[in-house]
Structure 1
């Protein structure tokens, strides 16, 4: 950049337009003129006030000894402001940069968090679209790679244009009021109610990473989140022990599943059994194939988990389908996890294969047409099964309200049975520290054991 300190300012010139013979010309704009080196520069504004403000900024920069760029005619401070990106433009860039490196669920969470933040980082310009239209424009168009964007409707086009024009500059987040407004938006649901602490923390983590990326690219001097505190009750992530079923209740539920529909429940019973007896995640059970199963005639079997089939919106997946074919959670792409399974589950899986066979790709669990079973489908079956297995009072409790609670029951059972934490963590695909924190309230009988050990030590 070539600069000069030789700057000269001219007066503001009013630009007029003739209104016809005998009428006084109307002032339509005002032009600020100045020279940098030997180059004349100018900038035109609609009002005199804007022109005077701009000229005042130029004079102040010259008075402070700033160098002026010969190409743009602006002092260095104003040049940086002019080149700075808006929050909207930076958020779009961020999503596109991280999209290839993220799983479908991560992409969905990323766009959801940014769609919460972006509407509050706007100037009050006329023509603001409805909030629902703004959210659709962000989630279904702006925050998608260009090759995934659908043909936008006129309504979405208008919303995107408004967002581009109204967005605050990224640098505005260095003012605490804007950063706080963004955090408060993350703390609320779409209906205005307070979001769960875990939801807020997950979305805040996305926002924090975006701002860290801006610092890395030197578009922000520091992460402004470090200056703003929005207190939310910390979530310890512990499982509610009221949701954990005992073995008798689990077996009643698995039997009740078979009563749902003509064939839906029968097709899904073994899948739910894998979640309880093997501690599998729903997406891991959905991806289970016959070749992953060692099912001996007697004794314990073994599942070697290799794939998971997480469900997300089609616009976020690499395959363009509702389910992505991915490696195991928190593991390298081709890393596997071995899960010993008790004879009871071995029998259930053998009976399932004998009765229903397997899909063309070897998957055990599928729809009648061979497709993947959606989360909403098996959740609906589970909801109905609870009404068959439990009394009305139990149905009203948080007892096994989600299929995922079967996995929680499995890990709780292992820990209460005295399985060493590292072994239980390996089977569940958890880190030991996370597992003990999450299932702390579900481990029964440890106090009595500890008390007896202390008494024995004191007696010695």
Structure 2
């Protein structure tokens, strides 16, 4: 919106004529004004209406309000007249984010917007069911690829049409009560219970970004959430110490996998010995590995293979997507040392199973040779826990997910005194996040610190004596 303060307002002009239908004499009253050299005008049937509009324009001019050069109206009036609906803006926000977002981020944006939109309806008349609204929003409206490909399917079309005309305008979001209602909605799960703190924070960030985009487009004068005192629940990002296996437990679980599903033992070994994320292990190729016959090797990670739903990636048919390393540039490479047990596991895996023409190490058996699915390695790990842990241990969070092997690796490195900066580099974290996430898993270092302090004090006492 291009604005100007160069405004001149003329007196109301009366135009006499005849009514086209009755032929009787009739007067109209025209308000005229100039913005940045462009003349604007608006006609009214009565003088009272014309005087009301004329007074609004004059008041805005005297108060120093900028006028929109396109419509000729004061900025607040132009924004209100041109305000788009929340539904239209949410779609515009999705389309703006889509080209640069990873598939999982696209899903996350769609989920958050689908969660908050039902709280931003302007009427309950004829409203579809909650299930229909969510399917229409998440399954079609907030998926750019599906919208671009075809009209909404017959089962979603009624809900899509209803939503297109029945959400509040962006101007309504300047009301703090409306924003608070939306925030309360995104803090709940589908079953009505409170969502996890990390989920609430993620969805709030999407909603905040959508409103910030409206400010960027000058569809809103300021961010509506700035005046809402709504506190996001504190998130506990720290790793649960109970989920971390010790070296003996880890070796036992890997032995169970080796016995029952040998094709995946090296996959889980990468998570435990090198602290790889599962997506990084799936992306690993033979050319990324330096595996000597003896001693330590080296892995040079260059990307990750994400599991995504069909229709969210750049290839609408694919359910997996190769991406750059997490929080890294597309060309970034992260070196990670491979201890001798991991080197042996990888050398055995390559000798026994080989690799694909693309160099991938962990692929499905049979036709296609795509990366191992999340469902497959998760099922194998559940079976390993079932056969490798006691009944009491299975009831605890101990190694409940494959990702917990990565937590165990990072915890081991920290507890053995590897500097946090080095651990952060190997694990692909910042030092701040590393210490925050693994704070509860660092053990035994307080006693060593006391001994170092005590030794320093004793030296000082000896020097003084």
TM-score (normalised: structure 1): 0.85
What stretches of structure 2 of length at least 5 have no aligned partner? 16-27, 33-39, 62-66, 461-465
Preserved CA contact (<8 Å) 2:31 2:54:
no
1:112-161 alpha-carbon deviations (Å, 9 max, x no partner) = 11111111111114211111111111112111225654542233221121
Q: Is the CA contact 2:119–2:182 (under 8 Å) kept in the aligned structure 1? A: yes
Are 1:290 and 2:286 an aligned pair?
A: yes
Tell me how far apart the structure 1 counterparts of residues 203 and 425 of structure 2 sit (CA, whole Å): 29
CA apart distance, 1:108: 1.1
* CA contact 2:43–2:50 (8 Å) conserved in 1: no
Match status 1:372 vs 2:368: no
Task: Note the 1:216-295 alignment, pairs <5 A.
Answer: 216-260=216-260, 265-295=261-291
SS in structure 1 at match of 2:299 = strand
| Pairs within 5 Å for 1:79-94 | 79-94=78-93
- Any idea what SS the aligned residue of 1:315 has? coil
SS at match of 2:336: strand
1:347 and 2:344 aligned: yes
Structure 1 3/373 Cα, relative in aligned 2: closer, same or farther at 3 Å?
farther
> C-alpha displacement at 1:258, in angstroms?
3.5
Give, in angstroms, the shift of residue 228 of structure 1. 1.4
| 8 A contact 2:256–2:387 mirrored in 1 | yes
* Aligned residues of 2:411 and 2:442 also touching (Cα < 8 A): yes
Q: Secondary structure at the match of 1:303?
A: strand
User: How far did 1:458 drift?
Assistant: 3.3
- Residue by residue over 1:292-312, the C-alpha shift from the partner in whole angstroms, topping out at 9 and shown as x without a partner, is 111111000111111210111
Q: Deviations over 1:54-82 (max 9, x none)?
A: x9987644334368999989887544322
Q: Is the 8 A contact 1:58 1:75 kept in 2?
A: no
1:213 paired to 2:213: yes
Q: Which residue of 1 aligns with 2:191?
A: 191
| Structure 1 residue 273 displacement after superposition | 0.7
Distance in 2 separating the partners of 1:5 and 1:167: 38
Change (3 A) 1:72 1:413: closer
**Aligned-pair distance for 1:89?**
0.8
Change (3 A) 1:305 1:455: same
Q: In 2, are the aligned partners of 1:123 and 1:166 still within 8 Å (CA)? A: yes
Consecutive aligned runs of 4 or more in structure 1 exceeding 6 Å deviation: 55-58, 67-76
Q: 1:5 Cα deviation (Å)?
A: 4.8
User: Partners of 2:186 and 2:392 in 1: how far apart?
Assistant: 35
User: Given that residues 148 and 315 in structure 1 are in contact (C-alpha distance below 8 angstroms), is that contact kept between their aligned partners in structure 2?
Assistant: no
Cα distance in 2 for residues equivalent to 1:70 and 1:200: 41
Aligned match of 2:20: none
Change (3 A) 1:70 1:201: closer
How much does 1:336 deviate? 0.6
Which one is further off, 315-324 or 193-202?
315-324
Asked if structure 1 preserves the Cα contact closer than 8 Å seen for 2:68 and 2:74, the reply is yes
Number of the residue aligned with 2:21: none
Please identify, of 149-158 and 445-454, the stretch whose mean Cα deviation from structure 2 is larger. Answer: 149-158
SS at match of 1:235: coil
Cα offsets for 1:290-332 (capped at 9, x unmatched): 1111111100011111121011112211133111112211111
Match of 2:319 among 319, 322, 327: 322
Counterpart position of 2:305: 309
Decide whether aligned partners of structure 1 residues 313 and 300 sit closer, same or farther in structure 2, where only a CA change above 3 A counts: same
SS of residue paired to 2:194? coil
Distance 1:7 1:122, change over 3 A: farther
- Identify the residue that residue 98 of structure 1 maps to in structure 2: 97
Give the structure 2 partner of residue 438 of structure 1: 437
Partner of 1:396: 395
Which blocks of at least 5 consecutive residues in structure 1 are unaligned? 11-32, 44-51
CA 1:73–1:450 in 2, change beyond 3 Å: closer, same or farther? closer
Distance 1:229-1:355 versus aligned 2 partners, 3 A rule: same
RMSD: 2.8
Total equivalences in the alignment = 425
Which residue is equivalent to 1:407? 406
In 1, Cα distance between equivalents of 2:284 and 2:42? 72
* Matches of 1:218 and 1:39, distance apart in 2: 24
